[in-house]
Structures are given as C-alpha cells and as structure tokens.
Structure 1
Amino acid sequence: MGEDYIWTYTVCGIYQATHFIGGGSGGEVARAFNMLTGDEVAIKSELLHIEHETNHPPALAYEAAVYKLLRKPSLGFPCLHWAGKNNGNYVLVLDRLGPNLGALHKFCRRKFSMRTVCMLAQQMLDRIEYVHSRGLLVVDVKPHNFAIGMGDNAHIVHLFDFGHSKLYLDPVTGKHVPYVADRSATGTVPYASVAAHRHYELCRRDDIEALFYVLLEFYCGELPWQGIYAPSFEAKLERTCEMKAGRALRDFVATECPPELKTYYSYYSDLEFTEKPDYAYLRRLFADRMKLEGWESDARFDWMDPSLLEKGTLIPEEYVVDSRFVEDVGVDPD
C-alpha cells in the first residue's frame, strides 16, 4: 500500500506534512519535512476531543514525557523534535524512520537467516538495556516497534513507540515497584509475556521475554501459538498463555531452536521479579555464534542482500521499499 497524499498542513510553521502514512483510533502518522532544513520527519497526531470525552490526558503527551525521560541517546531512538498542541491536535514531531522489522520479515518470506538474527538481537538488546537504564520498561516489545534508520543510519535498528511504557523504579525512592497480581493487560498478544497475560505487575524480565518471542519468530517464521483455533478471543488468549508457560513452548524450543535461543530461553525463565538481566551475557550468546561461524558483523542484513536467503525475498530487484513509521494503538491481537 503506497502512501496517500493529504491536504498539506504545517506544525509550528516549520514542519509541513505531505503524505498520510497510517493511523489508528484517534490519531494518524504523516510524512513531513522541516521547511528550514529540508530534513524529513514523521508527525504523530492525536485528536484532542478524545481527551474531553474520556477525561484522560492525550496519549501522545504521555509518550512525549517518556521521550524526555529517555533524554538523548546517541543512536537507536528517533529524536523528538517538538511536542505540543497544534490546531486541535496533540502532536509529536519525530525523526522519520525506514521500514519496521515486521515488514522486513515479511519481505524476506518470514524467515531471517541466523546471521541476521544474531546481528538484530545484539542491537535490540542494546535498545532495551538503555530504556531499562532510565528506569523504564518498554512493555510493548514487538517487530513493528523496531525500524531501521534512514540514509547513513540504515544499518541501525531503532526502537520507537513508547505509548505503553511505564516506570519500574519509583522516581522518589529509586526502588523497584512492588509485585502486584492485578494489573490491566498490556502489550501485543503474540509477544506479550506470561506475566502480562496473567495481569501481573511487569518487570525487566518481561521485556527480555517478549524479545525472545520476537527473535523466535524471526528465526522460525512463526510462533507456536500463531494461527491456533479458539472459539473466542478470550479463549485464544488463555490458550496462548498456556502454551507460553507450559510444555508446548519448552518442546518447541528444544526441537526447533539453535543453542543460542535455547540458552536465552533458559536464562530469562530463571530471572527473579526485581533481578537486573545480564544484557552483556545475552548479547555475547549471539556475538559468539557470529565468531564461531566466521560471520562478519557488517550490518548487511538479509533484506539488503537477497542472496543470503535460501528462498530470496518478495522484493523484485527494481522494487524500492517504502519507508514507514508505524504506530500501534492499544492491544494488538495480531
């Protein structure tokens, strides 16, 4: 699906929107550019009348606060250029990113090589570790919330969309939030942790677990619970949780996964609620596999060189991938 032209509008008299990229309940994402510098950006906007109907603050105002807590990491996160009210909308102006990893996985016929999985895993762990270092949880770890950069940053994986992020450290005491057994479910069903399914308080372990499901899908093509039959959405949620927590996943990992993912699975399964994950250890699992195989960590991913894949990609040689900035609102059953 191509980007649709829109009636152009400006934000702050500086950023001019040119194309509609995508949208969800109450908001949209547009492609835009800075009229002073020519730099491309993405504009996320949310209609403010929703605030008045629900008495809730704008979701994008919350996300802007999260970006401010993240400060300005050196790489791997879009820069927040501006946030505020503009012509009846609450608006975020962010760096424009390239295709997300969910789209790229589809282009590669839903199968990444182990070399690409190893390179992606190390970068994705870097991003999650940084978020955790700021006292925050990502919460909604999924392929569509990671995207490659543009231009010179096309080899860098970016983490974005922090609308579901939350603090795991008390900002006053600096202590870990206590365990609570009755919380609202958050995240995207295929990648949500077992604790998220069970409405438990989340911790750093849950982001690490969700990333495991993402990497498992990248390597295997699909997750064991994707496509299962259930008479209702609630029944499907329950069955998915049972598979993640029980023998179905253990058997799948034992028979279908390389040693690195087996070790990763065993490691996060033993993490305690307040325990800090050993990010360096997890990165080393994949770095050691790269070294063992003699693979160069050159950030040449499968979608850059179809010859790396047994079945190639879905992209004809003359096809140019449209860059996307993806926003997902709420719990995504897919």
Structure 2
Amino acid sequence: MARVLRGDHKFNYKALLGRGTFGEVYRAVSEQTGQEVAIKKELGVPEPNRKLSTGRSLAREYRVLRFLDGGIGIPRPYYFVSGGDRDAMVYECLGQDLGELLKACGGRFGMKTVLMLADQMLSRLEFLHSNNIVHRDIKPQNFTMGLGKNAQIVYLIDYGLCIFVNPNLPPVPGIYGSVGVEMVGTARFASINAHAQIRSQTFSDDLESLAYVLIFLRNGKLPWQGTGDKKPFNLIRMSKERHSLSELCQGFPREFQEFIKDARADRLRPPYHAQRKMFRKALGVTGVLDWQYDWVVKSHESKQNKRSST
C-alpha cells in the first residue's frame, strides 16, 4: 500500500514492525529511490493518556537523532513530517532488536555473546553521554542490530524519553535535576535511583540499567520479575536493593559486580574505557571478540543442516 508522506514522496508500506501506546513503526520502501526505510508514526494520544505522553515527542526524538547523526550505532534520520497529532519520522531501517533475537535463541544468550554485546552497548552509551544526553529507557528492545554490511553493529534506538543534562553544573554527583521527579523508563530495568525518584537520572542510571539488561540477556530473567512489570514499582525497587551483588551476578565473571558498583557510585563521568577493558578481560576467558553472536552461529548451523539433508 503506497502512502504519500512528504510532498509527492510515496512509500510502499511493507510491514508493521512494532506498535506501542503512542506510535507505530513500519518497514517501507521509497517508490522514487527504492530505498528501504523505517517510518515511525506518532499517533494521536487519547485525553486520559495525554499526560503520560509528555516528553515522548517524535519531533524531539528526530532533533536528537539529527544532533547525534554520524555516530556509530545511531540510526540515521532522513526527515520528519508534522501532521497535527500524527507526526512521522523516516529513518534508517534496522534489523531485529535484542528482545526478538533472545527469543529466537531460546530465551538466553551465551556468556560470550553477552560480553560482545556489552562492549558495543557500553560504547553507544559513552557516545550518547559524551553529548550530554541521558537515554532513560535502556532495555533489550531499544538495542537493535544493523542490516547488510552493518549486521554486526549494535544500534541504540528510541530517544523519546531522553534528556539533555547541563554540562556546566558543578562536579557534584546527584545534582543534575529537580527533586521529586516521576519514575521514567521501564521498571524491570530501571536503576534504583529511578525508582527512588530522588533526583533526575544521570549517566550512571543508564549504566545500571545496562547491567540489568546484560544479566537478563544471560539468564533470561531478573530476580524481581514476578508478574511481569505489573508488580508495584516500590516492590521492584526493594527487591533490587535487597539482592546482594554476589546474588545478582551469580555465575557471571566478577567484572559484572565491579561494573554495577561503578554504576551505583553515580560518578559525574563514568570510567567507560576501564569498564570496557573489564568486559574484554572477561571475554578473553570466555572466547574471542569475533562478532559471532549466538543467532549468527544458529543461522549458520541451520543452513548447514539444510544442505546436509538435501
């Protein structure tokens, strides 16, 4: 189905890639150029949910992507179209997100894959933070793999909840924003501070969320998962506070405990290089940095099995 999006520029919508409370993402092809793109549409928000959508502006996300354009693992924005309460953004088409790939691999990744992902995911956050931006919604679904020649590159997506922080503030941890802010992000992966709502989120909160994501990718679950994310936020927070690092990182290289300690220390500028070095040291014991992720190996094995059966 072809739709006019910008002037006389038409796109053939090929598939619905995802749908949320406030928008939809489609895979589409330009009739003029044949280029495959992703189109994110922000739907009109019902009145009861209007307050919830505050800060999830697609126009804002487009501006952030334009600001970050050129960074490795950052989706390339093409253009933005405003249509009243139904804005749309055209941007680089990407592959599957880590949540989808996790399901395809049986719900758990091997340690080697987790450590290779950690290396790239940490690099994406370092780049984001170097531009004084906090993402505030780090979760498996917001990391996707590229396509074609970029198939081994991890992309960080969905900047609808991100905030710019003031780089001119005094170098004192925990004073970036106002007190009493509402919980923002996904409860399962949110930092303890995001639950406590004492201050606005900082770079360290993104890193703590990343630690929970990595543990989830390896174990397929987190200790505070009960009835999904329907469990009250305060109960999830108390569970995070109650579990010791040794319990949380059981079966993981000791570097994971050090990483979470660093994240919870709320440093103004986290030691990204040292953290990446820790993960690479752990990877040296587990395997090599060859970008042969579990889903890549599984795909190769599947093709070999098909050949041998014919």
Q: Same fold (TM over 0.5)?
A: yes
Give the residue type in structure 1 aligned to 2:270. Answer: P
CA–CA distance in 1 between the matches of 2:164 and 2:279?
29
Q: Which residue does 1:141 correspond to in 2?
A: 138
Alignment of 1:246-261 (within 5 A): 246=242, 248-253=243-248, 255-261=250-256
Question: Post-superposition shift, 1:259?
Answer: 1.5
Q: Which residue does 1:215 correspond to in 2?
A: 214
Q: Which residue does 1:331 correspond to in 2?
A: none
Q: Secondary structure at the match of 1:190?
A: coil
- Give the conservation status (yes or no) of the 8 Å contact 1:216–1:223: yes
Q: 1:256 to 1:17 in 2, by over 3 A?
A: same
Matched, 1:278 2:233: no
- Match for residue 24 of structure 2 among 23, 28, 32: 28
Give the residue type in structure 2 aligned to 1:194. Answer: I
TM-score by length of 1: 0.80
Matched, 1:189 2:187: yes
Work out the number of aligned pairs and report it: 297
Question: Post-superposition shift, 1:36?
Answer: 3.0
Alignment of 1:1-334 (within 5 A): 7-12=1-6, 13-18=8-13, 19-47=15-43, 54=50, 59-73=57-71, 75-86=72-83, 89-169=86-166, 173=168, 178-200=176-198, 201-227=200-226, 233=230, 236-246=232-242, 248-253=243-248, 255-272=250-267, 275-293=268-286, 295-306=287-298
CA–CA distance in 2 between the matches of 1:302 and 1:250?
26
Gaps of 5+ in 2: none
Q: 1:316 to 1:93 in 2, by over 3 A?
A: farther
Please provide the CA RMSD for this pair: 2.9
Deviations 1:19-63 (A, max 9, x none): 222222342211111223322101011235769x95968711111
- Give the conservation status (yes or no) of the 8 Å contact 2:65–2:74: no
Give the residue type in structure 2 aligned to 1:17. Answer: N
Give the residue type in structure 2 aligned to 1:184. Answer: E
- Give the conservation status (yes or no) of the 8 Å contact 2:27–2:39: yes
Give the residue type in structure 2 aligned to 1:72. Answer: G
CA–CA distance in 2 between the matches of 1:243 and 1:161?
27
CA–CA distance in 1 between the matches of 2:296 and 2:228?
36
